[in-house]
Amino acid sequence: MNICVYCGSSNGNSSYVLEVAESFGELLAGEKIRLIYGGSSLGVMGRLANSVMKNGGEVTGVIPKGLFRKEVAHQEITELITVADMHERKSTMANLADAFVAMPGGFGTLEELFEIITWNQIGILSKPVVIFNVDGFFDSLIAMIDHSVKAGFIKPKNRDIVKIAETQEECLRLCREH
């Protein structure tokens, strides 16, 4: 199984998020699940990839040529795929993945999450999408999604595309369900 994880290329303010990234990487490696991610050696992304590699797992990073200046491409992973731009990065990651997980991150993480939800909604793909709600990070976002359902902008059946996990074990279970 291959799981694409969207997460921050910065550390954020919570060392707990970094600890969870390390622990989740260990779990992925132990379960023989290949990590597909954005290819950075920095932040939550780097911590997750390093943990998978340290624990004997496999990692595929996908990074656009233009981000080499802003993000440091991880040279010590199983495979680093260089693509032309963000569009190719996202489609490559989507094609490689069997499921998608969002961990704490910024605008890029949110954009990737919502694009993959939308691709499921409109039938481009049909793969599990899980928000790993580390330490309540996504509580406000989840409330906003639920508000959009109540307001009639998201159909209840489409709300079901997004699963919420509070633990890494629940996250993996939801990734395997489909």
DSSP tag of 106: -
Q: What is the arithmetic mean of pLDDT over 163-177?
A: 97
Cα 74 to its chain centre, rounded Å, is 17
The pLDDT value given to residue 65: 85
Cβ atoms of residues 139 and 103 within 8 Å: no
The pLDDT value given to residue 69: 52
The pLDDT value given to residue 151: 98
What domains appear along the chain, each with residue ranges and CATH number? 2-176 (3.40.50.450)
Tell me the pLDDT tens digit for each residue of 106-156: 999 999 999 999 999 999 999 999 999 999 999 999 999 999 999 999 999
C-alpha torsion 12→15→17→18, nearest 10: 90
Cβ atoms of residues 125 and 114 within 8 Å: no
pTM for this one? 0.95
Q: Examine the pLDDT at 1 and tell me if it is beyond 70.
A: yes
97 token code pair: 């993945």
Where does 10-58 show beta strands of DSSP type E? 34-37
What percent of the chain stands above pLDDT 90?
91
User: Using N-to-C axis directions, what is the helix angle for 43-54 and 15-30, rounded to 10°?
Assistant: 30
Q: Residue 129 CB: number of other CB atoms within 10 A? A: 24
Tell me the pLDDT tens digit for each residue of 61-81: 999 887 655 557 888 899 999
The pLDDT value given to residue 44: 97
Cβ atoms of residues 103 and 7 within 8 Å: yes
Through-space distance between the first and last CA atoms of the chain, rounded to whole angstroms = 13
Tell me the pLDDT tens digit for each residue of 22-37: 999 999 999 999 999 9
